[in-house]
Amino acid sequence: MRKTFKLEDLDCANCAAKMESAVKNIDGVKDCTVSFMSQKMTVEADDDKFDDIMKKAVKVCKKIEPDCIIIL
């Protein structure tokens, strides 16, 4: 399953790169891209674990960029 999520208050391209790398390391994630310019995150992951993976992704991203909100 591949889904794209809108990001709010992503402040820098470096943080976007760190978020992308961290989400890619979550078990079950096949691919992730975070675009600072379009303020979007695309996640490709296992269908059966997608909701759990997104909960982990939100936590990981909050550690990197506390002000950034992922619109699920």
The pLDDT score that the predictor gives to residue 67 is: 94
What does pTM read for this prediction? 0.94
Residue identified by tokens 């310019």 is 37
CATH architecture type of domain 2-71: 2-Layer Sandwich (3.30)
37-52 confidence digits (pLDDT tens): 999 999 999 999 999 9
Of all residues in the chain, the percent with pLDDT exceeding 90 is 99
Average pLDDT over residues 11-28: 96
In the chain, where the domains are located = 2-71
pLDDT range class, residue 21, cuts 50, 70, 90: very high
CA distances from 64 to 42, 44, 47 (A): 17, 20, 26
